[in-house]
């Protein structure tokens, strides 16, 4: 196929002889040729035909060639424009080039071979221009498609990321609920161990929020606090209720093994290795005299140092180990004395601040924890009382009547209150409460 076969040419001249001569030149070149004697007709033709190249006379009576080509460039901006003239005036040539965006200026009479070469070269440029335009349009369209695809992809990624975040949050909630359920099972074995672990976990969570490097580490501290006495599950109740100095050698060995047993039990769970380490070392002492590994100072993991402080406080205030329970002020004084020897001073300070502000989660001077059996009329609850299913039995501030006690005892049979119940040590004015 000839190179110019598909191209359409337009010749415009007011002389029929010139048009015929041009036809003869390109007769065998395979072009589709249109001719016009009138430039106005030629402009109309340009609107209808895909003209690739225009050859126009300069000196036409109806319209100058430069004017015609200027108008033609608006209709067919990619068409190559050539002007014919019988005058060798350089000003005419420059005017034609500037106004009509003319590709070439050809003098009459022309050389046929030169004319063919000129047109062939001009059409090569036309192909380049139109191909560039086509490719530019294609690129724009593809860019638009890619932009839309990217926008869709970004939206899908955003939605997927949000979904994963929600799932992770649900998993985290379910995980912590599972740990709490496990702590409940521990309580069923020994109510002291279970309630003690929950109280220590509340306080450890508060301390960790201000001392741990990130949320994950703080979460591990809370988990470790809930499970820190899991190694005591198999120990005899009588040993758990004794002060350390009253234990027999065999009982002391059993009790001192519980951090190791707890570490072994928890470390096998995926994601709980650090929590297991906190459990192992929660009886280490800041001066290095603790067990099981005799770690000292900051060599003791931060989670273990945190758990140790509320663990000691709760044992003093709520435990059956001692001949009497300590008042909160006495337990706080005990922690101050042991800061720097048994405990990390910064942890003690943070815990005591929480006790004074009421943020630590452990009963301070203003409140105390009692069991269901220890409830008496006229006590005022300092925190909500809920059953294991989450049912609210009494709001904070309820002053107990005999009917409240009967209600709690009835629920203990099928939906019990598994945590301790907190009451004010002194009896403030009670908030109005719903009838039991």
Q: What integer pLDDT is reported at residue 56 of this predicted model?
A: 94
| CATH 3.40.50.2300-classified regions of the chain | 8-134
Residue 95 has pLDDT above 70, yes or no: no
Residue 430 has pLDDT above 50, yes or no: no
Give the chain's mean pLDDT.
85
User: What are the pLDDT digits (tens) for 169-199?
Assistant: 877 777 777 777 677 666 665 555 557 888 8
Average pLDDT over residues 222-244: 81
Q: What integer pLDDT is reported at residue 178 of this predicted model?
A: 76
In our burial notation (b when 16+ CB lie closer than 10 A, e otherwise), range 121-150 reads ebbeebeeeeeeeeeeeeeeeeeeeeeeee
Q: Of 133-137, 244-248, 327-331, where does mean pLDDT reach its minimum? A: 244-248
Q: What integer pLDDT is reported at residue 434 of this predicted model?
A: 44
Q: What integer pLDDT is reported at residue 1 of this predicted model?
A: 35
User: What are the pLDDT digits (tens) for 391-428?
Assistant: 888 898 899 999 998 988 888 888 888 667 888 876 55
Q: Facing residues of 83 across strands?
A: 56, 105
User: What are the pLDDT digits (tens) for 69-86?
Assistant: 999 999 999 999 998 887
Q: What integer pLDDT is reported at residue 3 of this predicted model?
A: 45
Distance from chain centroid for Cα 367: 41
Q: Of 114-118, 160-164, 178-182, 246-250, where does mean pLDDT reach its minimum? A: 178-182
User: What are the pLDDT digits (tens) for 269-305?
Assistant: 888 899 999 999 999 999 999 999 999 999 999 999 9
Average pLDDT over residues 135-159: 89
Residue 70 CA to residue 65 CA, distance in Å, equals 8
Q: What integer pLDDT is reported at residue 187 of this predicted model?
A: 64
Which residues 6+ apart lie within 8 Å of 268 measured at CB? Answer: none
Residue 8 has pLDDT above 70, yes or no: yes
Average pLDDT over residues 11-18: 94
Phi, psi (deg, nearest 5) at residue 393? -90, -40
CATH architecture type of domain 8-134: 3-Layer(aba) Sandwich (3.40)
Q: Hey, is 431 helix, strand or coil?
A: coil
CB 384 within 8 A of CB 419: no
Residue 41 has pLDDT above 90, yes or no: yes
Report the percent of the chain where pLDDT is more than 70.
Answer: 85
Report the percent of the chain where pLDDT is more than 90.
Answer: 41
User: What are the pLDDT digits (tens) for 311-362?
Assistant: 999 888 876 655 566 888 889 999 999 999 999 999 999 999 988 887 666 6
| CATH 1.10.3210.10-classified regions of the chain | 190-365
Helices 215-227 and 112-189: angle between axes, nearest 10 degrees: 20
Residue 220 has pLDDT above 70, yes or no: yes
Q: What integer pLDDT is reported at residue 436 of this predicted model?
A: 46
Q: Of 119-128, 183-192, 206-215, where does mean pLDDT reach its minimum? A: 183-192
Phi-psi region of 340 (alpha: psi -120 to 50; beta: other; left: phi over 0): left
- Tell me the CATH number for domain 190-365: 1.10.3210.10
pLDDT band of 234, cuts 50, 70, 90 = confident
Q: What integer pLDDT is reported at residue 238 of this predicted model?
A: 72
């Amino acid at each position: 196929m000839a190179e110019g076969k598909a191209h359409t040419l337009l010749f415009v001249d007011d002389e029929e002889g010139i048009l015929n001569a041009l036809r003869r030149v390109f007769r065998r070149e395979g072009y589709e040729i249109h001719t016009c004697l009138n430039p106005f007709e030629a402009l109309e033709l340009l609107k209808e035909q895909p003209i690739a190249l225009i050859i126009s006379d300069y000196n036409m009576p109806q319209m100058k060639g430069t004017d015609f080509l200027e108008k033609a460039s608006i209709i067919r901006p990619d068409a190559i424009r050539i002007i014919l003239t019988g005058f060798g005036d350089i000003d005419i040539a420059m005017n034609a080039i500037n106004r009509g965006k003319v590709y070439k200026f050809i003098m009459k009479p022309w050389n046929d071979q030169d004319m063919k070469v000129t047109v062939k070269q001009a059409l090569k440029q036309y192909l380049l221009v139109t191909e560039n335009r086509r490719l530019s349009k294609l690129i724009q369209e593809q860019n638009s498609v890619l932009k839309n695809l990217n926008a869709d992809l970004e939206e899908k990624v955003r939605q997927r990321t949000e979904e994963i975040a929600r799932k992770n949050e649900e998993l985290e909630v379910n995980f912590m609920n599972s740990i709490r359920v496990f702590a409940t099972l521990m309580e069923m074995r020994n109510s002291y161990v279970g309630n003690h672990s929950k109280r220590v976990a509340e306080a450890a969570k508060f301390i960790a929020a201000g001392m741990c490097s990130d949320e994950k580490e703080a979460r591990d501290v809370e988990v470790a606090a809930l499970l820190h006495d899991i190694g005591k599950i198999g120990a005899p109740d009588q040993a758990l209720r004794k002060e350390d100095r009253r234990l027999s050698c065999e009982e002391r060995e059993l009790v001192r093994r519980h951090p190791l047993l707890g570490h072994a039990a928890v470390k096998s769970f995926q994601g709980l290795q650090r929590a297991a380490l906190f459990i192992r070392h929660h009886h280490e002492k800041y001066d290095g005299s603790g067990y099981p590994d005799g770690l000292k100072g900051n060599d003791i993991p931060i989670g273990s140092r945190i758990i140790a402080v509320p663990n000691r406080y709760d044992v003093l205030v709520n435990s059956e180990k001692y001949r009497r329970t300590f008042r909160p002020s006495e337990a706080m004084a005990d922690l101050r004395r042991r800061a720097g020897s048994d405990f990390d001073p910064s942890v003690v300070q943070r815990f005591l601040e929480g006790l004074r502000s009421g943020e630590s989660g452990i009963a301070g001077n203003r409140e105390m924890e009692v069991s269901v059996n220890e409830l008496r009329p006229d006590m005022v609850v300092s925190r909500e009382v809920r059953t294991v299913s989450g049912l609210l039995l009494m709001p904070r501030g309820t002053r107990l009547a005999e009917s409240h006690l009967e209600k709690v005892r009835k629920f203990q049979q099928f939906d019990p209150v598994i945590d301790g119940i907190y009451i004010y040590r002194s009896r403030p004015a009670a908030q109005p409460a719903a009838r039991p």
